[in-house]
Chain A
Amino acid sequence: MTALRAGHPRLQELAALTRRWYLQLVRDRLNLGLTLLQPAFWLVFFGGAVRRMVDDRVTGTPDYVSFLLPGVVAFTAIGTSISGAVPLLWDKETGYLDKLMSMPIARASLLGSRLAFQAAVTVVQVAVILLVAAAMGVRVRTGVVGVLVVLGVTAVLAVALSAVFLALAFHGPGHTTFFAVTGFVTLPLLFTSNAFVPVEAMPTWMALVARANPLTYAIEAMRLLVTSGWGVPVVAHLVGLVGFTALCVLLTHHRFRTYTSAR
C-alpha cells in the first residue's frame, strides 16, 4: 500500500505529466473546440444525410442513428488517438523527450500517463456524442449500465489505438512519415470494419477482413449494447478487444523502451 500513498514519487510524476498533457490540450482552444464538437458533427451529418441512402434491410434496424453511433465512436477514437500522439511526437523532435528521459522518472509513467489521458479525453468526447444522440432520439437499450459499458469500451479502444499511433510516432523517422501514414490508414481502417455495414451483410471476403479488424469487436459490442441488449456475444467481443489492447500496449511499451533506453 505504501506505493499508493499520496506524495509517492511515481504518483507525483504521473500527476505532473498528466497536468502537462491537460494544459497543452485546454490551452489549444481551436483544437479543443474541434475535439469536442467534431464527433457530434459526424453523428448529425451521417445520421441526417446518409440515412436516406441506406436500406433498413441491410442495417437490420430502422434507427440508423443508433446503428451508426458505435461507428462514430470508433471514428472519433481513431482521430483522437492520432492527434494524441502528436504532443509526444513534438517532444521527440524538439529534444524535450531527451530532457524528460534524463530525469529520474519511470519510462512507464510517461507512456502510462499519456494512454490514461487519451482514454479520458475520448470518454468525454463519447459522452458528448451520446448526449447528442439522445437528443436525436437514440435510446440505449441496456440503460445506464449499458451507457457506462459503452464508455468503458471507448476507454479501452482509445488505449489500444493510442498505443498503436504512439508506437508509430516513436518508430518513424519523423513527423512527415507519421502524418503520411496516419492520413493513409484512417479511412481504410474504418471502412474495413463494420462501422457502416454489419458484418452479416458483407460479401465473404469483406467479412473476413472485417473480422480481422479489431475495430469490429469494439463496434459490435457497442452496437449490441445500444440496439439490442446484453448477451454472451457482448462479452466475447469485449474479451477480444481487451486482448488486442493488451497486445498493443505491450508492443508500444517495448518500442518506447527501445527508443528511450540509452541507444
Chain B
Amino acid sequence: MGDAVTTTRLTRYFRRHAAVDGLDLRVPAGEIVGLIGPNGAGKTTTIRMLTTLLRPSAGQALVCGLDVRHEAVAVRRLIGYVPQEKGVRHLLTGRESLEIEADLHHIPRRRRDQRVAELLDLVGLLADADRMVSDYSGGMQKRLDLACGLLHAPELLILDEPTLGLDVVSRHRIWDYVRRLRAEGRAVLLATNYLDEADRLCDRITIIDRGREVVTGTPADLKRDVGADVVRVSTDRPEVLRSAIGHRAWVRQITIDDAGDLHVHVDDAATALPDLVRDAVRHGVDLTGVHYHRPTLDDVFLRHTGRVLAGHPA
C-alpha cells in the first residue's frame, strides 16, 4: 500500500513570510507520524494544506496519491480532521453533532445511527450523548471532536494538537484511540508540541522549526543519536564551564539553553560526572545543580534547534 501523505518541497507563504518552507513529509500507511515543533513552527499551516483548506504556494502534497490542489474533493473523502480549536457545536447535543456530521460525510442513513452509537461508545460519551455540547468539559469536547473525525473510517486521520490543555486521564484515552486506529491499519498524522506524547505514540517523527524540517526519524533512533546520557548542569557561569570541559573525551556535545543551563551529552554519566565536577572546581565555577537522565525527545529537540521546547503539560 502507498503512503497516506507525501509532500515534496511543500511551501506556503503568508505575504513575504514562509510559514512552511520546502517541507518533505511522509506518512506511511499504518503508521502514526508526529509533526513536532514550537508554536508558530508551521504545523497547522501544513495540516491546512493537507486538508485542502489552504493552497500550497509551491511544492506538492499528495494524500493517498491524490493531489490536494487538483483532487480536493476526493481528498476530503479520505481524511478525518480534528482541528486545533475545540468544535463549538452551538446548541446541539453530542449525538446530534455526530448525526449531522455523519450526514455531511454521506454515511448511508440506514447505517448512520448505529455508527454514531458505536463512536459515542468508543470515546466514552454514550451516557452523555444527549446533553448539550456546551455543557461538556474540555476533555469531553475533544473526544467528541475525535469521534467526528472517525465517523467515516478515514484512511488518514489528521490531529492538530489533540491533547492541548487536557487532563492526564483524557490524554491517555485519546492516545488509546489513536493506537487502536493504527492497529486497524490506518495512518495518523499528529501535530503536537508535547514531546512525551510524540515519544509514546509515534512510530516516526518530523521535527520542524520556522517552517523547515529539522530532523526525521523514529524516536528511538533520534534519542540514540543524542548520546547515551544527558547531564544537565545549572551554574551562573555556563560559558566558562563549557570551555573547561569542552576538550574532554567523554563529551559528545554541549548545548546551553535559554535558561543558561548546560546540557552535556555523554556516553556514560557515571564516569563523566566526577570529571565534570573536578573541572568545575579547578576553574572556580559554582554548580547550583547537577542532574542526569537518559535522553528524551527534549534533548533531541535541543540538540537540533539549540532551544528548549516550551509547552509541557503539568
Contact = CB atoms under 8 A, between A and B. Distances in A.
Interface of A: 7, 9, 12-13, 15-17, 19-20, 23-24, 27-28, 87, 90, 94-96, 98-105, 262-263
B100 A20 contact: yes
B58 interface: no
B77 A104 contact: yes
A18 to B, nearest CB: 10
B105 A99 contact: no
A159 B10 CA distance: 41
Contacts of B85: 94-95
Contact of B101 (A87, A98, A103): A103
Nearest to B51: A102
B81 to A, nearest CB: 5
Contact of B88 (A20, A94, A103): A94
Contact of B87 (A96, A103, A263): A96
B55 interface: yes
B289 interface: no
13 contacts: A20-B92, A24-B90, A27-B91, A90-B90, A95-B85, A99-B83, A102-B53, A103-B76, A103-B105, A104-B105, A262-B52, A262-B54, A263-B54
A104 B91 contact: no
B100 A96 contact: no
Contacts of B83: 95, 98-99
Contact of A15 (B49, B84, B90, B103): B103
By Cβ-Cβ distance, the 6 closest A-B pairs, closest first, are A16-B103, A262-B55, A27-B91, A95-B85, A9-B106, A104-B76
B87 A24 contact: no
Given A95-B83, A263-B54, A23 B92 contact: yes
Interface in B67-87: 68-69, 72-73, 76-77, 79, 81, 83-85, 87
Contacts of B127: none
A252 to B, nearest CB: 20
A263 B104 contact: no
A117 to B, nearest CB: 14
Given A17-B104, A105-B104, A262-B52, 4 more contacts: A95-B85, A100-B104, A102-B79, A262-B72
A90 to B, nearest CB: 7
The dominant DSSP class at the B interface is loop
A27 B96 CA distance: 13
Contacts of B248: none
A23 B91 contact: yes
Given A19-B100, A263-B54, A28 B76 contact: no
Interface string B152-193: 000000000000000000000000000000000000000000
B2 interface: no
B80 to A, nearest CB: 9
The dominant DSSP class at the A interface is helix
A205 B305 CA distance: 69
A7 B109 CA distance: 7
A24 B81 contact: no
Given A15-B103, A16-B103, A104-B73, A99 B81 contact: yes
B81 A23 contact: no
A102 B158 CA distance: 11
A17 B99 CA distance: 11
B203 to A, nearest CB: 24
Contacts of A20: 92, 100
B53 A101 contact: yes
A87 B91 CA distance: 11
Contacts of B104: 13, 16-17, 100, 103-105
B108 interface: yes
Contacts of B101: 16, 103
A252 B90 CA distance: 24
B55 A263 contact: yes
Nearest to A15: B103
B263 to A, nearest CB: 37
Interface string B45-66: 0001101111100000000000
A16 B77 contact: no
A9 B55 CA distance: 26
A94 B96 CA distance: 19
Interface string B98-121: 011101111011000000000000
B111 to A, nearest CB: 11
Contact of A24 (B84, B91, B106): B91
Contacts of B54: 262-263
Contact of B76 (A15, A19, A96, A102): A102
A87 B90 CA distance: 9
A254 B48 CA distance: 22
A100 to B, nearest CB: 7
Contacts of A28: 91
Given A98-B83, A103-B76, A13 B103 contact: yes
A105 B73 CA distance: 8
A90 B277 CA distance: 60
A16 B92 CA distance: 13
B96 A23 contact: yes
A46 B109 CA distance: 49
Contacts of B87: 96, 99
